[in-house]
Every structure is written in structure tokens, then in C-alpha cells.
Amino acid sequence: MITTLYTDFISLIMKKLRIMLLVHPEMEPLDHLTDPKDPAYLKCATEIDVKRALLKLGHEVRVVKVHDELRPIRKTIEQWQPHIAFNLLEDFAGDGALDFYVVSYLDMVGIPFTGCNPRGMMLARDKALSKKILHYHRIKVPEFRIFPWRKKIKTQKLKNLPYPMIIKSNIEQGSVGISQASYVTNDKELLNRIEQLHNITQGDAIAEQYIDGRELYVGILGNERLEVLPIRELSFSNKATQEQRIATYNVKWNDKYREKIGFKYGFARDIQNGLRIPSFS
């Protein structure tokens, strides 16, 4: 996952800082893990790399494990007075929809942090809401429908759907709940997959119009002044079927499956000049 860095972090990066590294309890970057092929290392490779990079830059790092309460963060702030929090949390108490509450707390107590602010995290996580905002600003988005959890699907919601469509969780990230079965071509497939997704995520589902094209990822650093990083691309070999050419959970997290379908992730090539986005302020 690529995050934007808070302005205070950029302005202080050359100083020696006390950095509070927020991680999930099971992702603690233990110092004895040194073999990149070790499954235990691979599980928390990001956390290990971040900690070692910060230490190499001369900063002090204190790892704070957070699950379902803010007490560890508050205690560290009171006793150690960190300059900044490097946030690697993706949920709170196992609920991805609550991740922005941790950042809200940091914001309230005046601790600078890496990543997006609470408001941005909340808006970006809700796929339907973010599309409505983009549409308001005249940015084209795929047509979509929301199918709330625990609510009977009304017949009128199935009228004039732009098949094929992709069925996703409205708030989950990391392709949670996305499989080849998420690609649907008719009402029967759509209803079956929505029912399955409701059972998997226990949350609202979103059906998006399938747009055939390239899978591009763009990282951005900064706040008022933004820097756009080189564009990355997720691509597949010719042996992958149409249904396999979507970023499913297996594509993102299953090494054997990625090798099977010829998955590749790297810098995007042959992009038209109109898509090249320079740094801007």
C-alpha cells in the first residue's frame, strides 16, 4: 500500500526524530527476522523495511502495537513524546471502516502522522461516496449500484444494468471479497455474487460497470504541494482469461496463483503524453 506523507514529516525529515511506528500486533517487525525468504519475515516485510529505513536515517523508533484500544498510543505520547507517528495500521479492532478513527485521535492530540487525514480516509474508503464526489467535479466514473447488507434487493435496481459488472465490497480494501466470480454478466450471476459477498464481508456491496483496460496505480506525496510518483501497472500474460484479468484477492496475495496466470507488477510503459502527470502545486 502507497501512502501520502504528512507535511510535517517532509519538513522534519532531515532532523533526528522520535518516531512512533504504529503496527498491528501480529505485524511486529522483530529484529531477529533477517531472512527475506522466511514466511515470518514475508508476513511483516513492510513493517521491517520501514523500521530499518528509519533507523538507518538516524531516527529513534518505538514500535507501538494497536488492536482495539488507543491506550498504547496515548501512553507512548505521554511518556516518550514522539515527534511523529508513522502509521501502518489498516484497521482498528479488525474493522477496516474504523481505521480513520486512530488518525483522528492523532490529529486531536497534535501528533503529526504519515498518510491521509481522517476526512480523506473516510471519503476514499467509501467507493460509492468517492464516485459521487468525482462525478460532481465532472470526472467520469463507471456506472454503479449499491446493494445494502440485510436489505431485500428491489426489482427496479436490476433494470438497465450495464453488464458486464464487477461486484465488490463498498468499503473493504486490498481486493477483499473479489474473485473471478465477481465478474458477472447477467442478473442471476449478480444476485448470487451479492449474496455471497454479503456473507463474506457483512457489509454493503457495490456493483460497478466493468471497464476493460489497463490497471494503473498512481502514488501521490504531499499536501498543498503534490508530487506524483511514477505510474505502476498490474498486468497479465496472454494465458490469463478475461475473468482472470482483474485484481482479485488471489492476484494481490497468493504468490502461486500470480505465477500461474503470469501476473506482473512494475512501472507502466507506453503511456500517452496526455496521461503523464507532472508535479504540481
User: What confidence tier does 4 reach under pLDDT thresholds 50, 70, 90?
Assistant: very low
In the numeric block, the cell 427496479 is attached to: 156
In which band, very low, low, confident or very high, does the pLDDT at 156 lie, cut at 50, 70 and 90? confident
Q: Which of 226, 203, 216 is nearest to 268 (CA)?
A: 216
| Tens digit of each residue's pLDDT (9 = 90 or more) over 7-24 | 455 555 568 999 999 999
The mean pLDDT value for 200-212 works out to 94
**pLDDT for the residue numbered 76:** 98
194 and 222 part of one domain: no
Lowest mean pLDDT among 13-27, 129-143, 148-162, 228-242: 228-242
Same domain, 221 and 156: no
Same domain, 59 and 115: yes
CATH number for the domain harbouring residue 35: 3.40.50
pLDDT of residue 263: 81
Tell me, what's the pLDDT at 22?
Answer: 98
Q: What is the pLDDT of residues 163-181, one digit of tens each?
A: 999 999 999 988 999 999 9
- The secondary structure element, H or E, covering residue 261 is helix 255-261
SS3 182: helix
Q: What is the pLDDT of residue 11?
A: 52
Q: For residue 205, is pLDDT > 90?
A: yes
Q: Which of 209, 244, 267 is the last residue of a domain?
A: 209
pLDDT of residue 274: 55
Share of the chain above pLDDT 90, in %: 64
- The two beta strands, 144-147 and 165-169, are unpaired
DSSP 3-state assignment of 161? coil
Looking at the fold, whether 170 and 271 belong to one and the same domain comes out as no
Q: Which three cell numbers stand for residue 253?
A: 496475495
Helix (H) or strand (E) holding 65: strand 60-65
Q: Is residue 114 part of a domain?
A: yes
Q: How far is CA 38 from the centre of its chain?
A: 25
Per-residue pLDDT reduced to its tens digit, 60-89: 999 999 999 999 999 999 999 999 999 999
**How many domains, the chain?**
3
- What is the pLDDT at residue 6? 46
Same domain membership, residue 27 and residue 103: yes
Identify whether 112 is part of a domain: yes
82-96, 127-141, 231-245: least confident range:
231-245
User: For position 66, what pLDDT does the model report?
Assistant: 97
Q: In angstroms, rounded to a whole number, what is the distance separating the alpha carbons of residues 79 and 69?
A: 17
The domain in which residue 253 lies consists of: 215-275
Same domain, 102 and 196: no
pLDDT of residue 2: 39
In contact, 113 and 10? CB cutoff 8 Å? no
As a whole number, the mean pLDDT across the chain is 88
